[in-house]
């Protein structure tokens, strides 16, 4: 059997998963790829760390040159994360004609174009299945299996941590703080959860998915972003009453060459398949103009699920032509030029929760403001009447309207003496 050497940059969660899969599934990998794959070097920061794995000491290095200068290493697998030194290591490996596999969404979403260009110019393959939704084969799904389609829209639950938190808040009726703590104890959320709960992680992933789905360059700044820290138990309760589940959705829609890209908490009809995605699971629901609606569902993180995506990329490279020049262009995101919709131009349905003074005529004043701003209301909830003059919660659900009309309504509502606070505004998707 032919032999091929590869190297890992990083032996954390994902690197460990990759190592384990090569031990667990040696026979499958060899038979399917036609090669005996040897992980011949692994780059780490701390050589002495106990990793609970039976890895020969001589494989571990802290010097990237051991990998870069070994001509027998044909594939470099970057699973260390961050921008630098990951980016410089990948660029030097490409220049030394090594094929690349990476799981690094932050790097791809912010510096992907530079890496793809370098890979193309050097005739090396560059694969990144694990960068979005861990074990779910969405990148290769779009890039290979769905190329006969024009993708019309895509909705993703692409962050397991926030989905876990929202699921806990919904199913166990706990508040955000308690759910976040549990996510941290379970290892789903980092000690600093900002990237997940403020939506940055989903923003990176949507930029990658949109670039690939629409063959265009997408900058992270083109993606509108809101996180889930504002979602309260009350919103979850009202959503239930209205027949919705709240999910952090990454959404892209194509309108006559203009892309609408947004990440924010979204009310999804409870009977929609995305409404039934619980725990730390991920899902991507998309519509192609030939295939129709499709949903991909699975584990978006974890050592083995993410390792599964990384190892399948390694096998794909080895099967393609690991010894030769890559003839398939890497860059697929400069085929069309697209414009991006401003958030104010987006049309949506909205849930608005407000605290107002409970007095006769207040509801009339508020609905008048919505009317003046061209916002039609679909329903209003006022639960339990208190004593006149006290604060009460009102919940409004609108029909389709422009974001700009909602913003002007809220500005006008704040001018009313009877409105104490607009507590939350959550967009509703109907699909």
Ligand X SMILES: NC(=O)c1ccc[n+]([C@@H]2O[C@H](COP(=O)([O-])OP(=O)(O)OC[C@H]3O[C@@H](n4cnc5c(N)ncnc54)[C@H](OP(=O)(O)O)[C@@H]3O)[C@@H](O)[C@H]2O)c1
- Catalytic residue IDs: 205
What whole-number distance in Å separates Cα of residue 267 and Cα of residue 228? 12
Q: How far is the CB of 202 from ligand X (least distance, A)?
A: 13
CB atoms within 10 A of CB 71: 10
Q: Does 12 bind ligand X (CB under 6 A)?
A: yes
CB atoms within 10 A of CB 11: 24
Measured from the CB atom, the residue of 129 and 403 that comes closer to ligand X is 129
Measured from the CB atom, the residue of 103 and 356 that comes closer to ligand X is 103
Q: Which residue of 76, 93, 100, 103 would you call a contact of ligand X, by CB under 6 A?
A: 103
What whole-number distance in Å separates Cα of residue 360 and Cα of residue 341? 41
Residue indicated by tokens 């790829």: 33
Q: Does 186 bind ligand X (CB under 6 A)?
A: no
By CB under 6 A, the count of residues binding ligand X is: 23
Residue 22 contacts residue 35 (beta carbons within 8 Å): no
Q: Does 138 bind ligand X (CB under 6 A)?
A: no
Q: Does 373 bind ligand X (CB under 6 A)?
A: no
Q: Which residue is nearest to ligand X (CB)?
A: 12
Contacts of residue 71, Cβ cutoff 8 Å, sequence gap at least 6: 96
Q: Within positions 282 to 311, which residues make up the interface with ligand X, using CB under 6 A?
A: 301-302, 306
Partnered with residue 379 across adjacent β-strands are 397
Three-class secondary structure of residue 11 per DSSP? coil
Measured from the CB atom, the residue of 260 and 313 that comes closer to ligand X is 313
Residue indicated by tokens 């954390």: 12
Q: Does 45 bind ligand X (CB under 6 A)?
A: yes
Q: Does 215 bind ligand X (CB under 6 A)?
A: no
How far apart, in Å, do the first and last CA atoms of the chain sit? 51
Q: Does 101 bind ligand X (CB under 6 A)?
A: no
Q: How far is the CB of 178 from ligand X (least distance, A)?
A: 23
Task: Choose one: 40-48, 244-252, 281-289, 415-423; the region binding ligand X (CB under 6 A).
Answer: 40-48
Q: Angle at Cα 22 formed by Cα 17 and Cα 25, nearest 5°? A: 110
Q: How far is the CB of 198 from ligand X (least distance, A)?
A: 16
- Contacts to ligand X by CB under 6 A: 10-15, 43-46, 49, 79-81, 85, 103-105, 130, 134, 301-302, 306
């Amino acid at each position: 059997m032919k032999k091929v050497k590869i190297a890992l940059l990083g032996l954390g969660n994902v690197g460990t998963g990759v190592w384990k899969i090569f031990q667990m599934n040696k026979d499958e990998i060899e038979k399917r790829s036609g090669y005996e794959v040897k992980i011949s070097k692994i780059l780490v920061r701390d050589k002495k760390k106990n990793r609970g794995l039976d890895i020969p000491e001589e494989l571990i290095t802290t010097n990237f040159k051991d990998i870069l200068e070994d001509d027998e290493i044909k594939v470099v697998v970057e699973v260390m994360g961050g921008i630098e030194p990951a980016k410089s290591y990948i660029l030097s490996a490409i220049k030394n004609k090594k094929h690349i596999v990476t799981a690094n969404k932050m790097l791809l979403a912010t510096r992907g174009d530079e890496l793809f260009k370098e890979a193309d110019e050097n005739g090396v393959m560059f694969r990144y299945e694990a960068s979005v939704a861990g074990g779910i084969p969405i990148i290769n799904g779009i890039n290979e299996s769905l190329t006969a389609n024009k993708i019309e829209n895509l909705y993703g639950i692409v962050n397991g941590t926030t989905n876990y938190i929202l699921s806990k808040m919904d199913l166990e009726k706990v508040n955000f703080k308690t759910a976040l703590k549990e996510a941290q104890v379970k290892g789903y959320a980092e000690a600093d959860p900002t990237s997940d709960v403020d939506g940055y992680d989903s923003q990176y992933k949507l930029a990658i998915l949109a670039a690939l789905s629409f063959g265009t360059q997408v900058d992270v700044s083109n993606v509108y972003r809101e996180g889930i820290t504002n979602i309260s138990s009350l919103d979850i309760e009202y959503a239930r009453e209205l027949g919705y589940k709240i999910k952090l959705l990454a959404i892209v829609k194509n309108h006559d060459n203009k892309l609408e890209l947004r990440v924010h908490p979204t009310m999804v009809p409870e009977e929609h398949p995305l409404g039934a995605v619980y725990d730390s699971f991920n899902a991507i629901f998309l519509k192609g103009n030939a295939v129709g609606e499709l949903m991909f569902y699975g584990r978006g993180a974890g050592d083995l699920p993410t390792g599964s995506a990384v190892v399948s990329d390694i096998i794909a490279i080895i099967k393609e032509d690991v010894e030769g020049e890559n003839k398939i262009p890497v860059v697929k995101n400069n085929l069309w030029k697209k414009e991006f919709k401003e958030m104010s131009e987006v049309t949506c349905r909205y849930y608005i929760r407000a605290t107002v003074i409970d007095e006769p005529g207040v509801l009339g004043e508020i609905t008048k403001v919505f009317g003046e701003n061209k916002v039609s209301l679909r329903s209003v909830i006022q639960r339990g009447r208190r004593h006149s003059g006290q604060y009460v919660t009102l919940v409004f659900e609108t029909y389709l309207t422009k974001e700009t009309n909602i913003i002007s309504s809220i500005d006008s509502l704040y001018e009313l003496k009877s409105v104490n606070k607009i507590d939350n505004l959550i967009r509703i998707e109907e699909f």
